[in-house]
Amino acid sequence: MPELVYPPVIAAMLAAFRVLDLRITMSGAQHVPERGGAVLASNHVSYLDFIFCGLAARPSKRLVRFMAKREIFDHRVGGPLMRGMRHISVDRNAGMASYKAALEALKRGEVVGVFPEATISTSFTVKEFKTGSVRMASASEVPLVPMAVWGTQRLWTKGRKRSLGKRHVPVTILVGEPLRPARRDDQAQVSAELHSRISALVDKAQREYPDEPSGPDDRWWLPAHLGGTAPEPPEVAPAP
């Protein structure tokens, strides 16, 4: 089936990035396989993360089908675009249907994008993961590719006014070496390893980020442990 929507959307986004002179740095894109199914799993700090995560697949000439909440598909403008790009609607009250749709896409050799945290991390740290990405990769026996994005929260994130016209913002995209889970693998261990790898990529992106807050009021986009004013991450109960 011809791709009538996705390529023009990508072209429009790239043109917008050039106008804004976003300073996009990407590393590790060679880890996205050039053929066959794969799951891309990234941290989540912005409403725009899926756009930048998708850029990581361009060197491999792949299009990523992202799993996104149903409300986006219900939007009068966003909905037709999401469906045209063949992204996967997630209804949290009927999660099995979206899970099966993602499995079918993987079996067709598609690349599926997932944010294992499920929602944006307002602390800008890596939250606990849902198990869907690991279960899909294990069941399909496809590579599970860890990713990290950083800087996108400065453009549009939860609880902050959009700054889509902000110029010269650095955005970092890092792709790590794939995990290759099998059906018999312990999914809890695979999930822990995925969390560890994504956390390491986020730490690297934060350490090497080429910009700093312009003043005290601009520290909101940094996590508390880096001296920012983002909320502290919620306490996680220890395992029994």
Q: Which of the four pLDDT bands, split at 50, 70 and 90, describes residue 240?
A: very low
Q: How many whole angstroms separate alpha carbon 136 and alpha carbon 96?
A: 12
**Residues 169-197: what's their mean pLDDT?**
97
Q: Which of the four pLDDT bands, split at 50, 70 and 90, describes residue 237?
A: very low
Answer whether 180's CB lies under 8 Å from 115's CB.
no
pLDDT at 235 > cutoff 80: no
pLDDT at 177 > cutoff 50: yes
2: Cα separation from own chain's centroid: 25
- The residue written with tokens 């969390």 in the block is 195
User: Buried b vs exposed e over 166-181: b needs ≥16 C-beta within 10 Å?
Assistant: eeebbbbbbbbebbeb
Tens-place pLDDT, residues 59-113 = 999 999 999 999 999 999 999 999 999 999 998 777 899 999 999 999 999 999 9
Contacts for 40 with CB less than 8 Å, ≥ 6 apart: 32, 53, 56, 57, 64, 111, 112, 113, 114, 145, 147
Token pair for 184: 């018999």
| Domains along the sequence of the chain with CATH | 6-226 (3.40.1130.10)
Biggest CA–CA distance in the chain, Å, is: 52
Write down the pTM of the prediction: 0.95
Q: How many whole angstroms separate alpha carbon 152 and alpha carbon 55?
A: 13
The pLDDT of residue 178: 98
